[in-house]
Amino acid sequence: MGTNYQDERSHGVRVSDAWKFRGLKTVVLENKHIRVEIISDKGADISSFVHKSTDTELMFKTPWGLRNPKNNVPPSGDGASVWLDYYEGGWQTVVPHGGYPSKYYGADFGIHGDVNNIPWDTKIIEDTSKKCTVEFIGRSLRSPFEIKRVISLNENDSFIEINQEVKNFAEEDLNIVWLEHIAIGGSFLSQNCTLTVPDCTILTHPEDADKSSKLKPNFKGNWPYAEYKDGSKNDFRKIPGKDDRSLDMAYFTNLSDGWYAVTNNDLNITWGVEFPKDLFRYIWYWRNFGGGYGYPWYGRCYNAGLEPCTSWHNGGVEQAENNGSAHNVKSGEIIKAKIKAGIIQDYSQKNSENPFV
Protein backbone atom coordinates (compact mmCIF):
# COMPACT_ATOMS: atom_id res chain seq x y z
CA MET A 1 0.00 0.00 0.00
CA GLY A 2 1.32 3.45 -0.87
CA THR A 3 1.41 6.19 1.72
CA ASN A 4 0.72 9.26 -0.42
CA TYR A 5 -3.05 8.97 -0.08
CA GLN A 6 -3.36 6.97 3.13
CA ASP A 7 -6.31 8.00 5.29
CA GLU A 8 -4.95 10.08 8.17
CA ARG A 9 -7.52 9.26 10.84
CA SER A 10 -7.57 10.77 14.29
CA HIS A 11 -9.98 8.18 15.70
CA GLY A 12 -10.22 4.41 16.07
CA VAL A 13 -7.15 2.35 15.32
CA ARG A 14 -4.63 3.77 12.85
CA VAL A 15 -1.36 2.82 11.25
CA SER A 16 1.34 4.60 9.28
CA ASP A 17 4.53 3.37 7.61
CA ALA A 18 5.51 6.87 6.43
CA TRP A 19 7.95 7.51 9.27
CA LYS A 20 11.70 7.27 9.81
CA PHE A 21 13.47 7.27 13.17
CA ARG A 22 17.21 7.93 12.99
CA GLY A 23 17.05 7.09 9.32
CA LEU A 24 15.28 3.74 9.83
CA LYS A 25 11.82 3.07 8.41
CA THR A 26 9.39 2.86 11.32
CA VAL A 27 5.74 1.79 11.54
CA VAL A 28 3.45 3.42 14.11
CA LEU A 29 0.38 1.43 15.20
CA GLU A 30 -2.01 2.92 17.76
CA ASN A 31 -5.50 3.37 19.15
CA LYS A 32 -6.91 5.17 22.20
CA HIS A 33 -5.18 2.70 24.57
CA ILE A 34 -1.69 1.99 23.21
CA ARG A 35 0.98 3.22 20.81
CA VAL A 36 3.43 0.73 19.27
CA GLU A 37 6.56 1.54 17.24
CA ILE A 38 8.04 -1.15 14.98
CA ILE A 39 11.44 -0.60 13.33
CA SER A 40 10.96 -2.07 9.83
CA ASP A 41 14.56 -1.42 8.82
CA LYS A 42 15.93 -3.23 11.85
CA GLY A 43 14.43 -6.68 12.27
CA ALA A 44 10.84 -5.45 12.62
CA ASP A 45 11.82 -4.89 16.25
CA ILE A 46 9.08 -3.57 18.55
CA SER A 47 11.07 -0.75 20.11
CA SER A 48 8.28 1.01 22.00
CA PHE A 49 4.99 -0.03 23.56
CA VAL A 50 3.28 2.82 25.42
CA HIS A 51 0.15 2.66 27.56
CA LYS A 52 -1.38 6.05 26.80
CA SER A 53 -3.60 6.81 29.78
CA THR A 54 -0.73 6.37 32.25
CA ASP A 55 2.02 7.49 29.84
CA THR A 56 3.87 4.26 30.62
CA GLU A 57 6.60 2.81 28.38
CA LEU A 58 6.77 -0.97 28.82
CA MET A 59 9.76 -1.81 26.63
CA PHE A 60 13.31 -1.76 28.00
CA LYS A 61 15.50 0.82 26.28
CA THR A 62 19.29 0.51 26.34
CA PRO A 63 21.31 3.57 27.38
CA TRP A 64 22.87 3.76 23.90
CA GLY A 65 19.48 3.55 22.19
CA LEU A 66 18.57 2.81 18.61
CA ARG A 67 21.49 3.11 16.20
CA ASN A 68 21.43 2.89 12.44
CA PRO A 69 23.83 0.11 11.37
CA LYS A 70 24.52 2.01 8.14
CA ASN A 71 26.12 4.86 10.09
CA ASN A 72 28.58 2.80 12.12
CA VAL A 73 31.52 0.52 11.52
CA PRO A 74 32.00 -2.03 14.31
CA PRO A 75 35.49 -1.62 15.86
CA SER A 76 35.85 -5.41 16.04
CA GLY A 77 34.33 -8.52 14.61
CA ASP A 78 33.44 -10.07 17.95
CA GLY A 79 30.43 -12.38 17.57
CA ALA A 80 28.51 -10.91 20.50
CA SER A 81 29.41 -7.24 20.14
CA VAL A 82 28.04 -6.67 16.64
CA TRP A 83 24.48 -7.59 17.73
CA LEU A 84 24.74 -5.88 21.11
CA ASP A 85 26.14 -2.65 19.65
CA TYR A 86 22.82 -2.18 17.85
CA TYR A 87 20.54 -3.62 20.53
CA GLU A 88 18.07 -0.88 21.43
CA GLY A 89 16.02 -2.98 23.83
CA GLY A 90 12.39 -3.85 23.18
CA TRP A 91 11.28 -7.02 21.40
CA GLN A 92 13.12 -8.99 18.71
CA THR A 93 12.06 -12.13 16.87
CA VAL A 94 15.19 -14.31 16.73
CA VAL A 95 15.40 -17.16 14.17
CA PRO A 96 17.11 -19.58 13.56
CA HIS A 97 19.81 -19.07 16.20
CA GLY A 98 18.86 -17.78 19.64
CA GLY A 99 21.83 -17.70 21.96
CA TYR A 100 25.56 -17.10 22.20
CA PRO A 101 27.84 -17.05 19.14
CA SER A 102 28.55 -20.41 17.53
CA LYS A 103 28.52 -22.22 14.20
CA TYR A 104 25.21 -22.95 12.48
CA TYR A 105 25.61 -25.70 9.86
CA GLY A 106 28.98 -24.21 8.94
CA ALA A 107 27.86 -20.56 9.08
CA ASP A 108 29.49 -18.25 11.61
CA PHE A 109 26.65 -16.85 13.73
CA GLY A 110 26.99 -14.13 16.35
CA ILE A 111 24.73 -13.82 19.36
CA HIS A 112 21.06 -14.18 18.33
CA GLY A 113 21.85 -14.51 14.62
CA ASP A 114 21.46 -11.95 11.86
CA VAL A 115 17.81 -11.05 11.27
CA ASN A 116 17.65 -8.16 13.77
CA ASN A 117 20.25 -6.02 12.02
CA ILE A 118 18.70 -6.11 8.54
CA PRO A 119 15.68 -4.38 6.95
CA TRP A 120 12.40 -6.27 6.58
CA ASP A 121 9.83 -5.74 3.85
CA THR A 122 6.69 -4.00 5.09
CA LYS A 123 3.12 -3.95 3.79
CA ILE A 124 -0.04 -2.52 5.33
CA ILE A 125 -2.65 -5.15 4.54
CA GLU A 126 -5.62 -3.78 6.50
CA ASP A 127 -6.31 -0.16 7.39
CA THR A 128 -9.71 0.67 8.86
CA SER A 129 -10.83 2.42 12.03
CA LYS A 130 -11.85 -0.98 13.42
CA LYS A 131 -8.66 -2.94 12.69
CA CYS A 132 -5.19 -2.33 11.28
CA THR A 133 -2.77 -5.05 10.19
CA VAL A 134 0.83 -4.82 9.03
CA GLU A 135 2.92 -7.59 7.45
CA PHE A 136 6.69 -7.74 7.92
CA ILE A 137 8.92 -10.22 6.06
CA GLY A 138 12.61 -10.82 6.69
CA ARG A 139 15.12 -13.36 5.40
CA SER A 140 18.23 -14.48 7.22
CA LEU A 141 21.47 -13.77 5.37
CA ARG A 142 23.36 -16.86 6.55
CA SER A 143 20.57 -19.40 6.76
CA PRO A 144 17.67 -20.35 4.43
CA PHE A 145 14.84 -19.10 6.67
CA GLU A 146 12.15 -16.52 5.97
CA ILE A 147 10.12 -15.00 8.79
CA LYS A 148 6.69 -13.45 8.27
CA ARG A 149 5.38 -11.35 11.15
CA VAL A 150 1.77 -10.09 10.84
CA ILE A 151 0.85 -7.63 13.59
CA SER A 152 -2.77 -6.53 14.18
CA LEU A 153 -4.49 -4.08 16.51
CA ASN A 154 -8.25 -3.81 17.02
CA GLU A 155 -10.03 -0.57 17.86
CA ASN A 156 -10.83 -1.30 21.49
CA ASP A 157 -7.99 -3.65 22.42
CA SER A 158 -4.99 -2.72 24.53
CA PHE A 159 -2.93 -5.60 23.14
CA ILE A 160 -1.60 -6.65 19.75
CA GLU A 161 -2.04 -9.97 17.99
CA ILE A 162 0.94 -11.42 16.12
CA ASN A 163 0.70 -14.24 13.61
CA GLN A 164 4.14 -15.50 12.68
CA GLU A 165 5.44 -17.97 10.15
CA VAL A 166 8.93 -19.38 9.76
CA LYS A 167 9.71 -21.20 6.48
CA ASN A 168 12.69 -23.42 5.72
CA PHE A 169 13.73 -22.81 2.10
CA ALA A 170 16.58 -25.33 2.31
CA GLU A 171 16.44 -28.66 0.55
CA GLU A 172 17.36 -30.32 3.83
CA ASP A 173 15.86 -30.52 7.31
CA LEU A 174 17.38 -28.07 9.79
CA ASN A 175 17.27 -27.47 13.54
CA ILE A 176 16.50 -24.04 14.95
CA VAL A 177 16.20 -22.10 18.18
CA TRP A 178 13.26 -19.66 17.84
CA LEU A 179 13.34 -16.98 20.54
CA GLU A 180 10.89 -14.12 21.14
CA HIS A 181 13.35 -11.74 22.79
CA ILE A 182 10.98 -9.56 24.88
CA ALA A 183 12.65 -7.21 27.38
CA ILE A 184 10.35 -5.30 29.73
CA GLY A 185 11.52 -2.09 31.37
CA GLY A 186 10.89 1.57 30.69
CA SER A 187 8.75 3.39 33.22
CA PHE A 188 6.75 0.19 33.85
CA LEU A 189 9.23 -2.08 35.63
CA SER A 190 9.90 -1.53 39.33
CA GLN A 191 10.41 -3.35 42.63
CA ASN A 192 6.64 -3.09 43.09
CA CYS A 193 5.99 -5.42 40.14
CA THR A 194 4.72 -8.98 40.49
CA LEU A 195 5.39 -11.83 38.04
CA THR A 196 2.66 -14.43 37.49
CA VAL A 197 3.41 -17.64 35.58
CA PRO A 198 1.39 -20.88 35.26
CA ASP A 199 2.60 -23.94 37.16
CA CYS A 200 6.05 -24.79 35.84
CA THR A 201 9.58 -25.94 36.62
CA ILE A 202 12.31 -23.37 37.25
CA LEU A 203 15.79 -24.04 35.88
CA THR A 204 18.78 -21.80 36.48
CA HIS A 205 21.73 -21.36 34.15
CA PRO A 206 24.43 -24.06 34.47
CA GLU A 207 27.03 -21.46 35.47
CA ASP A 208 27.07 -17.82 36.57
CA ALA A 209 25.76 -15.54 33.83
CA ASP A 210 27.86 -12.67 35.20
CA LYS A 211 30.18 -11.91 38.10
CA SER A 212 27.15 -10.21 39.71
CA SER A 213 25.01 -13.40 39.50
CA LYS A 214 23.24 -14.45 42.70
CA LEU A 215 21.23 -17.54 41.70
CA LYS A 216 22.58 -21.00 42.45
CA PRO A 217 23.70 -22.54 39.13
CA ASN A 218 21.99 -25.73 37.89
CA PHE A 219 19.07 -25.34 40.28
CA LYS A 220 15.83 -27.17 39.44
CA GLY A 221 12.61 -26.74 41.36
CA ASN A 222 8.92 -25.94 41.25
CA TRP A 223 7.57 -22.42 40.66
CA PRO A 224 7.84 -19.93 42.34
CA TYR A 225 11.01 -20.58 44.38
CA ALA A 226 14.62 -20.74 43.29
CA GLU A 227 17.77 -20.81 45.41
CA TYR A 228 20.51 -18.26 45.85
CA LYS A 229 24.13 -19.36 46.03
CA ASP A 230 24.04 -18.75 49.79
CA GLY A 231 21.24 -21.32 50.16
CA SER A 232 18.41 -18.84 50.79
CA LYS A 233 15.19 -18.94 48.78
CA ASN A 234 14.19 -16.46 46.08
CA ASP A 235 10.51 -15.90 45.35
CA PHE A 236 10.30 -15.34 41.59
CA ARG A 237 6.90 -13.69 41.96
CA LYS A 238 8.67 -10.58 43.26
CA ILE A 239 10.65 -8.37 40.85
CA PRO A 240 13.78 -6.95 42.55
CA GLY A 241 14.69 -3.28 42.24
CA LYS A 242 17.76 -1.96 40.45
CA ASP A 243 19.59 -1.84 43.79
CA ASP A 244 19.65 -5.65 43.70
CA ARG A 245 22.73 -5.26 41.45
CA SER A 246 22.46 -8.73 39.92
CA LEU A 247 22.38 -10.29 36.46
CA ASP A 248 21.11 -13.87 36.17
CA MET A 249 19.58 -16.26 33.66
CA ALA A 250 16.78 -18.66 34.55
CA TYR A 251 14.28 -20.68 32.52
CA PHE A 252 10.71 -21.90 32.99
CA THR A 253 9.63 -25.21 31.47
CA ASN A 254 6.91 -27.87 31.83
CA LEU A 255 4.44 -24.99 31.64
CA SER A 256 0.83 -25.93 32.34
CA ASP A 257 -0.28 -23.15 29.99
CA GLY A 258 1.35 -20.73 27.54
CA TRP A 259 1.32 -17.25 29.06
CA TYR A 260 2.81 -14.96 31.68
CA ALA A 261 1.85 -11.64 33.28
CA VAL A 262 3.74 -8.82 35.01
CA THR A 263 1.70 -6.43 37.17
CA ASN A 264 2.86 -3.02 38.33
CA ASN A 265 1.00 -2.72 41.61
CA ASP A 266 1.51 1.06 41.83
CA LEU A 267 0.17 1.79 38.35
CA ASN A 268 -2.38 -1.06 38.53
CA ILE A 269 -1.60 -2.19 35.00
CA THR A 270 -0.52 -5.61 33.76
CA TRP A 271 1.68 -6.63 30.82
CA GLY A 272 0.68 -10.05 29.49
CA VAL A 273 1.96 -12.39 26.79
CA GLU A 274 0.17 -15.48 25.45
CA PHE A 275 1.97 -18.00 23.22
CA PRO A 276 1.66 -21.62 22.00
CA LYS A 277 3.33 -23.72 24.71
CA ASP A 278 3.71 -26.75 22.45
CA LEU A 279 6.09 -24.74 20.27
CA PHE A 280 7.61 -22.44 22.88
CA ARG A 281 8.35 -24.99 25.58
CA TYR A 282 10.47 -22.59 27.62
CA ILE A 283 10.42 -19.02 28.88
CA TRP A 284 13.87 -17.52 29.25
CA TYR A 285 14.06 -15.18 32.24
CA TRP A 286 16.85 -12.64 31.76
CA ARG A 287 17.12 -10.90 35.14
CA ASN A 288 19.18 -7.75 34.55
CA PHE A 289 18.54 -5.89 37.81
CA GLY A 290 21.32 -3.35 37.92
CA GLY A 291 24.10 -5.93 37.59
CA GLY A 292 25.99 -6.84 34.46
CA TYR A 293 29.29 -5.06 35.01
CA GLY A 294 31.52 -4.33 32.05
CA TYR A 295 30.44 -4.32 28.38
CA PRO A 296 27.72 -3.65 27.39
CA TRP A 297 25.68 -2.95 30.52
CA TYR A 298 28.25 -1.38 32.87
CA GLY A 299 25.72 -1.69 35.69
CA ARG A 300 23.39 0.81 33.99
CA CYS A 301 20.47 -1.37 33.02
CA TYR A 302 17.26 -2.50 34.68
CA ASN A 303 15.05 -4.91 32.79
CA ALA A 304 13.27 -8.26 32.90
CA GLY A 305 13.57 -10.35 29.76
CA LEU A 306 10.66 -12.81 29.65
CA GLU A 307 11.19 -14.59 26.38
CA PRO A 308 9.20 -17.54 24.96
CA CYS A 309 11.58 -19.97 23.26
CA THR A 310 11.56 -23.36 21.61
CA SER A 311 14.74 -24.43 23.39
CA TRP A 312 17.14 -23.97 26.28
CA HIS A 313 19.58 -22.73 27.44
CA ASN A 314 21.17 -19.79 25.61
CA GLY A 315 24.10 -21.55 23.96
CA GLY A 316 22.58 -21.59 20.47
CA VAL A 317 21.53 -24.38 18.14
CA GLU A 318 24.51 -26.70 18.72
CA GLN A 319 23.96 -26.66 22.46
CA ALA A 320 20.18 -27.17 22.01
CA GLU A 321 20.91 -30.15 19.78
CA ASN A 322 23.14 -31.60 22.49
CA ASN A 323 20.41 -31.41 25.14
CA GLY A 324 17.58 -32.45 22.81
CA SER A 325 15.68 -29.15 22.86
CA ALA A 326 16.39 -27.94 19.29
CA HIS A 327 13.31 -27.61 17.09
CA ASN A 328 13.51 -29.45 13.77
CA VAL A 329 12.03 -27.82 10.64
CA LYS A 330 11.62 -30.03 7.58
CA SER A 331 12.67 -28.91 4.13
CA GLY A 332 9.97 -26.58 2.78
CA GLU A 333 8.04 -26.67 6.07
CA ILE A 334 6.29 -23.63 7.53
CA ILE A 335 5.88 -23.47 11.31
CA LYS A 336 3.42 -21.01 12.81
CA ALA A 337 2.82 -19.21 16.09
CA LYS A 338 0.02 -16.94 17.31
CA ILE A 339 0.99 -14.52 20.06
CA LYS A 340 -0.96 -11.91 22.00
CA ALA A 341 0.87 -9.25 23.98
CA GLY A 342 -0.02 -6.02 25.70
CA ILE A 343 -1.92 -4.38 28.53
CA ILE A 344 -4.48 -6.47 30.38
CA GLN A 345 -7.15 -4.35 32.05
CA ASP A 346 -8.21 -5.21 35.62
CA TYR A 347 -6.14 -8.38 35.80
CA SER A 348 -6.41 -10.37 39.04
CA GLN A 349 -3.31 -12.32 40.08
CA LYS A 350 -5.13 -14.43 42.66
CA ASN A 351 -6.00 -17.44 40.55
CA SER A 352 -3.02 -17.53 38.17
CA GLU A 353 -5.38 -17.56 35.20
CA ASN A 354 -4.58 -16.76 31.59
CA PRO A 355 -5.04 -12.97 31.38
CA PHE A 356 -6.35 -13.16 27.80
CA VAL A 357 -9.23 -15.52 28.65
Per-residue pLDDT of the chain (357 residues), as tens digits, is 456 778 889 899 999 999 999 999 999 999 999 999 999 999 999 999 999 999 999 999 999 999 998 898 888 878 889 899 999 999 999 999 999 999 999 999 999 999 999 999 999 999 999 999 999 999 999 999 999 999 999 999 999 999 999 999 999 999 999 999 999 999 999 999 999 999 999 999 999 999 999 999 999 999 999 999 999 999 999 999 999 999 999 999 999 999 999 999 999 999 999 999 999 999 999 999 999 999 999 999 999 999 999 999 999 999 999 999 999 999 999 999 999 999 998 887 666 788 898
Cis preceding linkage at 74, omega within 30: no
Q: Using alpha carbons, select from 144, 135, 76 the residue that is nearest to residue 115.
A: 144
CB 289 within 8 A of CB 138: no
Cα separation, 18 vs 1, whole angstroms: 11
Query: Model-level pTM greater than 0.95?
Result: yes
CB 205 within 8 A of CB 219: no
CATH of 14-344, one of 2.70.98.10, 3.40.50.720, 1.10.1060.10, 3.40.920.10: 2.70.98.10
CB 39 within 8 A of CB 120: no
